[in-house]
Amino acid sequence: MLSIIVPVRNESDNLEDLFNYFSNNLKNINYEVLIINDFSVDDTLDYAKKLSIQKSQFKVFDNSRKGLGGAINLGIKKSLGKSVAIMMADQSDDINDLIKYNDLMNSNSYDAILGSRFLKDSKVIDYPFQKLILNRIFNFIVSLIFWNKYKDYTNAFKIYKKEVLLEIMPLISESFNIFLEIPLKIISRKYNYKIITINWTGRKKGDSKFKIKELGSKYLFTLIYCFIEKNLLNIEK
């Protein structure tokens, strides 16, 4: 089974499209979708529960540890699949890439598939220019510090073996920096991973929860934490 974790905060406008996004396109896959409500102040939680009644593959949970990191941790613990994908509720990621991820995981011995928007054949649409430039600079710095070829840590859309996610616990990041912590631990501990192209489209409904100014210190904390783990503690799989 493939478990798909989707954290949501104030995403009521996207929910119906999100449910159809999965149910209409994953008919040939054994999957579950874990909708993790992250302290929404609109009707996201109630609406998600209502929509999930008619769709057995969808499960709704309410996050008790505020923050995106808490939502991801809860999703991992509640997931039942051998593989776990993380996606965002804005449907910015291509569902065909998810199918490709899953096929690669099932037919190979990879511990993780890491998608990158910045490979030559990847397609990126409606990415705000300022955010794109800052993203490229940040990812270049991270790849330089950790001496690896991966350059899209800030994108959530990746797939992992669940047993590997459990092995790299605890995941201590509280916000979007969890999307930096997980692949850094995967790469630093020398798990078997593959980097592939993906297609990405900017959000069409609702507001982005990614705030660059607010997250700078959190990303710095995660970088220092993972650097210490890799170079001083020498933790490997």
- Give the chain's domains with CATH numbers: 2-231 (3.90.550.10)
What pTM was estimated for this model as a whole? 0.92
Q: How far apart are CA 12 and CA 7, in angstroms?
A: 12
Q: How far apart are CA 204 and CA 198, in angstroms?
A: 18
Burial of 222 (0-12, 13-18, 19+ CB in 10 A): buried
Q: What is the pLDDT of residue 237?
A: 66
Decide the pairing of beta strands 199-201 and 123-125.
parallel
Q: What is the pLDDT of residue 132?
A: 87
Taking only the tens of pLDDT, the chain with its 237 residues reads: 999 999 999 999 999 999 999 999 999 999 999 999 999 999 999 999 999 998 899 999 999 887 899 999 999 999 999 999 999 998 999 999 999 999 999 999 999 999 999 998 999 998 888 888 988 999 999 999 998 989 999 889 999 999 999 999 999 998 999 999 999 999 999 999 999 999 999 877 656 555 555 567 888 999 999 999 888 776 776
Q: How far apart are CA 207 and CA 128, in angstroms?
A: 13
Q: What is the DSSP letter of 189?
A: T
